[in-house]
Amino acid sequence: MKVVIVGGVAGGASSAARIRRLDEHAQIIMIERSGYVSYANCGLPYYVGGVIKEQEELTMQTPESFWDRFRIDVRVRQEVTAINPAEKTVTVRGLDSGKSYTETYDKLLLAPGAKPTVPALSGVDSERVFTLRTVEDTLSIRRFVEEQKPKTAVLAGGGFIGLEMAENLVEMGVSVTIVQRPKQLLAPLDTDMASFVHAEMRRHGVALRLRETVTGFRQDGDSVLTLLEESEPLRSDMVLLAIGVTPDTHLAKEAGLELGIRGSIAVNERMETSVPDIYAVGDAVEVTHFVTGQKALISLAGPANKQGRIAADNICGGNSHFHGSQGSSVLKLFSLTAASTGINEKAAQAAGIAYDRVVLFPASHATYYPGAQSMAMKVLYEKESLRLLGAQIVGGDGVDKRIDVLATAIRAKMTALQLTELDLSYAPPYSSAKDPVNMAGFMIEDLESGKVRQFHWNEVEDLPCDGNATLLDVRTEGEYRRGHLNGFRNIPLDDLREHLDELDRGKPVYVNCQTGLRSYLACRLLTQYGFTCAHLSGGYSFYQVVTQEQQTARSAYPCGMEKV
């Protein structure tokens, strides 16, 4: 059997190695148009920033190591320019020699990945405007940074690559402004959870120009001007386009393969395309979202590697299936970690799912053990079935652990109530006897059993302030003096029983505390004394971060950038 693989990196390289493990006698040819194969794509921003010191550390395998260990023929700097399914051939052009040749195949695997989205804007070809997708891109940016020593940079786009590059540039002393059309960074997060990311970026001097549209670029001496639709241009020493990625599927389209959403390659669960003996994996293919069941594009290394393994199994006569992706991701941003899995509120609404959510601020480990850090945690679940839909966590230590537990729970199709019984490891340096994941389950259990009701940060302004409700803040007097919601009366939780006669049982009570725990306790107390009560999800802490970010966003002006 002769297998030709178009593209290396995650999907192509993992598939090639798997095929060899399954079939020692297969002829395997992997064709990669860049000069590198099986490289650490996710590590590229950290090489630019000098966190990863040596270029060789980015390369997982080389053409020579692939041959030595697996006898796989890896051809870099060669590009497949055409596929002929009827004759089962591909046309290959050597990028250095310019010569073309034809290669036959029995099985063809397409792993072309995705390419940076580069809109047709004026000046986009400037030598000071960069994209970051390949090792060559990385080397170019690092060389520019080392030689030119830029002081200012504009990043167009606020996704994973853009934010990682922002962090690395800031650590190198570069003043960074992020410009993008959406109103928030990190689309997998809800707007309220993204507020923590915005605050962290601003705390490190990153200027955010959200809801701004880039219309082009213009070279001006040793600077480049980023032109904006409704604002004055921004002058900087360099620009990085990180708007997103687009499936690289022109070969598939020209060969007559069926395409999916946004021009991606349509595949079934076996990673087979619409043409026999042609498979496709990675960022170029559409997948089924594990939570919604809808078609989606999820450009992440984890799913690409798994798809490569599954395609290899089936190429070698097996019967493996890819059951979808839920988009689990984690990102380091200065001292913050942001992670998500499943769907957010926007996606739930788009899918027509009736859902609810809980927000909590658990500690990363037992609070009596030194170094405990608080994390903001949001869990979504379907109202009727109580199945888990998604989770988002932003904080310090312990975020990655909890998001992975929740990702596993979603994959196992657990209900939110089953989180209460998860038997998770505990020792004071690592967790609490009731893990944050258990706590999320307890909160949902109390909501669904009617033991407590809640209201959310975006409903505070609509609370009745005409005397027809009791607005209660159960924090300490000191906490209350440092900031509180308008119209809320302060009665500390520990004193509440002694003040019950001052409250009208005929009026609903809306309770707020710092993070939601004391307000929950207050509601349980009040309910048993005949009051109707609801408490603020996430508490004053959550409300304050989200609303302050909204106010900042309305009034922010970029610092460190020269207005032209």
User: What DSSP string runs through 142-188?
Assistant: HHHHHHH--SEEEEE--SHHHHHHHHHHHHTT-EEEEEESSSSS-TT
What's the CA gap between 316 and 15, in Å, rounded? 11
pLDDT for residue 117 is more than 90: no
pLDDT for residue 182 is more than 80: yes
3-state class (DSSP) for residue 515: coil
Task: Give yes or no for a contact between 281 and 11, defined as CB atoms under 8 angstroms apart.
Answer: yes
- Give me the residue label for tokens 């859902």: 355
CA end-to-end span of the chain, whole Å?
62
Write out the catalytic residue numbers: 42
Task: Give yes or no for a contact between 340 and 392, defined as CB atoms under 8 angstroms apart.
Answer: yes
Task: Give yes or no for a contact between 79 and 92, defined as CB atoms under 8 angstroms apart.
Answer: yes
Q: Which helix (H) or strand (E) covers residue 79, if one does?
A: strand 78-84
pLDDT for residue 559 is more than 60: no
What's the CA gap between 426 and 444, in Å, rounded? 22
Cα torsion angle, 359, 361, 366, 372, sign? positive
pLDDT for residue 237 is more than 70: yes
Task: Give yes or no for a contact between 9 and 113, defined as CB atoms under 8 angstroms apart.
Answer: yes
Q: For the segment 94-112, what is each residue's pLDDT rounded down to a tens digit?
A: 999 999 999 999 999 999 9
What band does 57 get if pLDDT is binned at 50, 70 and 90? confident
Sheet holding 214-220, edge to edge: 214-220, 223-228, 234-236, 562-563
| Predicted pLDDT of residue 79 | 96
| Predicted pLDDT of residue 40 | 66
| Predicted pLDDT of residue 44 | 81
Rounded alpha-carbon distances, angstroms, from residue 293 to 70, 303, 538, 561: 37, 16, 30, 44
3-state class (DSSP) for residue 480: helix
| Predicted pLDDT of residue 144 | 92
Written as one letter, the residue type at 271 is M
Q: Average pLDDT, stretch 279-308?
A: 94
What's the CA gap between 548 and 525, in Å, rounded? 31
What's the CA gap between 80 and 524, in Å, rounded? 66
Task: Give yes or no for a contact between 54 and 1, defined as CB atoms under 8 angstroms apart.
Answer: no
What band does 114 get if pLDDT is binned at 50, 70 and 90? confident
pLDDT for residue 558 is more than 50: no
Give which of 279, 238, 333, 343 is closest to 18, Cα–Cα: 279
The alpha carbon of 443 is separated from its chain's Cα centroid by a whole number of angstroms, namely 25
Q: For the segment 335-390, what is each residue's pLDDT rounded down to a tens digit?
A: 999 999 999 999 999 999 999 999 999 999 999 999 999 999 999 999 999 999 99
| Predicted pLDDT of residue 562 | 39
DSSP state letter for 265: B
| Predicted pLDDT of residue 212 | 93
| Predicted pLDDT of residue 20 | 97
pLDDT for residue 561 is more than 80: no
pLDDT for residue 41 is more than 80: no
Q: How long, in residues, is the chain?
A: 564
Tell me the range of 58-62, 507-511, 550-554 where mean pLDDT is highest.
Answer: 507-511
The mean pLDDT of the chain is 93
Rounded alpha-carbon distances, angstroms, from residue 184 to 103, 187, 340, 444, 563: 47, 7, 15, 27, 23
Q: Average pLDDT, stretch 55-70?
A: 83
Rounded alpha-carbon distances, angstroms, from residue 164 to 175, 182, 195, 512, 522: 14, 18, 17, 36, 42
Q: How many CB atoms lie within 10 A of CB 223?
A: 17
What's the CA gap between 307 and 267, in Å, rounded? 11
pLDDT for residue 226 is more than 50: yes
What's the CA gap between 433 and 365, in Å, rounded? 9
Residues of the chain with pLDDT > 90, as a percent, come to 81
Q: For the segment 190-208, what is each residue's pLDDT rounded down to a tens digit?
A: 999 999 999 999 999 999 9
What band does 136 get if pLDDT is binned at 50, 70 and 90? confident
Q: For the segment 473-498, what is each residue's pLDDT rounded down to a tens digit?
A: 999 999 999 999 999 999 999 999 99
What's the CA gap between 11 and 184, in Å, rounded? 30
In SS3 terms, 331-394 reads as: EEECCEEEEEEECCHHHHHHCCCCEEEEEECCECCCCCCCCCCECEEEEEEECCCCEEEEEEEE
Phi then psi dihedrals of residue 463, to 5 deg: -65, 145
Range with the lowest mean pLDDT among 117-126, 144-153, 231-240, 535-544?
117-126
Q: For the segment 456-466, what is each residue's pLDDT rounded down to a tens digit?
A: 999 999 999 88
What's the CA gap between 442 and 460, in Å, rounded? 24
Residues of the chain with pLDDT > 70, as a percent, come to 97
pLDDT for residue 534 is more than 90: yes
| Predicted pLDDT of residue 243 | 83
Q: Which helix (H) or strand (E) covers residue 491, if one does?
A: none
